[in-house]
Amino acid sequence: MKIHHYLVLILACLLATASLADPKIPTSQRQQELMQLLLDDCGSCHGMTMNGGLGPPLQQSNLAGKPDEYIFVTIRNGTAGTPMPPWHQFLTDDEIYWMIDVLRKETWKKE
Amino acid sequence: MRCLSLICLLIISLSAHSAKLPGCSGREAIGDRGVIVERASGSVVIVNSTSQELLCRVEGLGDLSHASMVFSRDEQYAYIFGRDGGLSKVDVLNGRLENRIIQAGNAIGGAISQDGQIIAVSNYEPGGVRLFTADTLTALATIEAKTDAFPEGAKVVGLTDAPENQIIFSLYNAGEIWQASLDNPKKPEIKKYLNIGSLPYDALIAPDGRYYMAGLFGEDGIAKLDLWYPEKGVEKILGDYGKGDKKLPVYKMPHLEGWTFAGDLVFLPAIGHHEVLAIKTTNWELSSRIPLLGQPVFTMARPDARQIWVNFAFPNNKWLQVIDTKSASVIKKLEAGPGVMHMEFTPRGEHIWVSVRDENKVKIYDTRTFELLKVLNVESPSGIFFTARAHKIGL
């Protein structure tokens, strides 16, 4: 085996590990920004305590039974015909999954 | 003798006069006070807009995100409507919480009746309007916003007082406008306007109390009710406005509280567009569209209506723009700071107070020179409400 074959193999392994890893956790500074965005901007329709407003409540119990993928698509692309806007301009996919986790675990309550 | 009887008469008439009147007490005047909501900490600060200082803080008011308030006609009491369904009566003169009730699960705003006797609160959960006495916050009646399509009660938005002791409000998901007479507040009489348009998200009443207008989210246009001619029903205006344009996603719903009549024009924030609309009041047609740097949230008219100050939705919420109503164009752009939430003019408009949430500051600007006059430290400030609102229809 030639040396560049080894290199390709190593590279392929590295890539495979990267894609299998958990979604990238935002930096602590970014986490703070995201938490603020959740409370202020999501909160402007869903309530600062996620008890709902013009938009539906987003408490742990409200999200139970709704798969991550459904919530992800709702946040990423918005919901046509409702005021829910798409957030993909402002949030990466990893950040959206991180926020779903925050909602599910209600870690925002500590803020 | 004659002189004596005259003196007697004088004494009698004088004492008669003084016996009739209760006398004027020397309590402090509070016509230049205001209340600023500290949205994250469930408190408000009471301010003086003449000395431009914070006077005191009142705490324990619950969830005040998106809180608003109305004032008693003597300006002494602020009735504060919290998101958590709390209704708090705060004594603005003495700086204390007078009374507080939780009247629903999830509330959005409220109004005070023309005679100052009744407080009305609009609710999301359970949807409807509840009426309370202004003095003791005793429940008078519940108007359930039930319709065939929303048997659990529609979400109520755009609640306002109206002349002849009425209130008017819109049913967000049901697309209706209801007008209620409070002459018998335990059994309010209700007139319903059906099919007024899709998803009215907020509404307002003109300063003279004649027009009630609801902004629509689900379609283009504005639903207009002329209270001088209620028999004409609700008319849709600007129905073709924005047709063919791509509507932008809305990151914060505009508030229609700031309603600007200037000459024969009226100015309104355009939902889903980076613009304010100038509408001719003579025929209710579009006069011009004023391009802005973002989506407007509040469009607040200086009391003389020569200027309109606009703040913006995320992600442009650090900016303010000022529109000159004479030329219908933007004349000033100001970077007020991160998270501009609300603005309030002093009663005759020489200054404007701006809440900058993420900086924990309230900034006071001169509206003629745009000079920053003073900065106050207020924690996560949102709504600013001066007591002069007590005497205005719809506020």
pLDDT in tens, B68-115: 999 999 999 999 999 889 999 999 999 999 999 999 888 889 999 999
Percentage of chain B exceeding pLDDT 90: 77
Is residue A14, in this structure, part of any structural domain at all? no
> Which is more confident, B246 or B375?
B375
Q: How far apart are CA B297 and CA B253, in angstroms?
A: 7
Is residue A56, in this structure, part of any structural domain at all? yes
Q: What is the average per-residue pLDDT within B115-133? A: 94
Q: Note whether B106 contacts A48, CB cutoff 8 Å.
A: no
Q: Identify the CATH number of the domain in which residue A84 sits.
A: 1.10.760.10
Is residue A40, in this structure, part of any structural domain at all? yes
Residue of chain A minimizing CA distance to B155: A54
pLDDT for res B63: 87
Q: Note whether A83 contacts B66, CB cutoff 8 Å.
A: no
Q: What is the average per-residue pLDDT within A5-23? A: 50
Kindly list the residues from chain A whose CB atom is less than 8 angstroms away from the CB atom of residue B253.
Answer: 44-45, 54, 83
How far CA A58 is from CA of A55, A66, B159, B203, in Å, comes to 9, 11, 25, 26
Q: Note whether B253 contacts A83, CB cutoff 8 Å.
A: yes
Q: Note whether A83 contacts B357, CB cutoff 8 Å.
A: no
Q: How far apart are CA B79 and CA B102, in angstroms?
A: 13
Residue of chain B minimizing CA distance to A53: B124
Q: How far apart are CA B176 and CA A90, in angstroms?
A: 35
Is residue A91, in this structure, part of any structural domain at all? yes
Residue of chain B minimizing CA distance to A85: B249
In angstroms, how far apart are the furthest CA atoms of chain B? Answer: 94
Residue of chain B minimizing CA distance to A36: B358
pLDDT for res B259: 65
Identify the residue among B41, B61, B66 best suited for mutation to test binding to A, counting A beta carbons within 10 A and taking the highest: B66
pLDDT tops 50 at residue B235:
yes
Kindly list the residues from chain A whose CB atom is less than 8 angstroms away from the CB atom of residue B65.
Answer: 43-44, 47-49
Q: Note whether B252 contacts A86, CB cutoff 8 Å.
A: no
pLDDT tops 80 at residue B314:
yes
Kindly list the residues from chain B whose CB atom is less than 8 angstroms away from the CB atom of residue A44.
Answer: 65-66, 252-253
Per the CB < 8 A criterion, the answer to whether B180 and B166 are in contact is: yes
Q: How confident is the model at residue A17 (pLDDT cuts 50, 70, 90)?
A: very low
Lowest mean pLDDT among B143-157, B240-254, B302-316: B240-254
pLDDT in tens, A62-111: 999 999 999 999 999 999 889 999 999 999 999 999 999 999 988 777 65
Is residue A20, in this structure, part of any structural domain at all? no
B337 DSSP assignment: -
Per the CB < 8 A criterion, the answer to whether B297 and B343 are in contact is: no
Q: How far apart are CA A7 and CA A4, in angstroms?
A: 5
Q: What is the average per-residue pLDDT within B223-250? A: 87
Supply the mean pLDDT for chain B. Answer: 91
pLDDT in tens, B330-355: 999 999 999 999 999 999 999 999 99
Q: Is B315 on the interface with A (CB under 8 A)?
A: yes
Q: For residue B167, what are the contacts with CB-CB under 8 A and spacing of at least 6?
A: B111, B113, B120, B129, B159, B160, B161, B179, B180, B182
> Which is more confident, A3 or B49?
B49
pLDDT for res A24: 84
Domain total of chain A: 1
Q: How many residue contacts between A and B have a Cβ separation below 8 Å?
A: 60
Is residue A21, in this structure, part of any structural domain at all? no
Point out the residue among A36, A43, A54 whose CB comes nearest to the CB of B65. A43
pLDDT for res B336: 97
Q: Which domain holds residue A59?
A: 26-110
pLDDT in tens, B182-217: 999 999 999 999 999 999 999 999 989 999 999 999
**ipTM reported for the complex surpasses 0.90:** no
> Which is more confident, B26 or B268?
B268
Q: How far is A5 from chain B (nearest CA, A)?
A: 48
Is residue A93, in this structure, part of any structural domain at all? yes
Q: How confident is the model at residue B5 (pLDDT cuts 50, 70, 90)?
A: low
Q: Which residues of B142-158 are buried (b: 16+ CB within 10 A; e: fewer)?
A: bbebbbeebeebbbbbb
pLDDT for res B9: 52
Kindly list the residues from chain A whose CB atom is less than 8 angstroms away from the CB atom of residue B106.
Answer: 47, 51-53
Chain B 212-231, CB below 8 Å of chain A: which residues? 217-218
Q: Note whether A44 contacts B218, CB cutoff 8 Å.
A: no
Tokens 């008011």, residue located: B61
Is residue A53, in this structure, part of any structural domain at all? yes
> Which is more confident, A9 or B155?
B155
Q: How far is A53 from chain B (nearest CA, A)?
A: 7
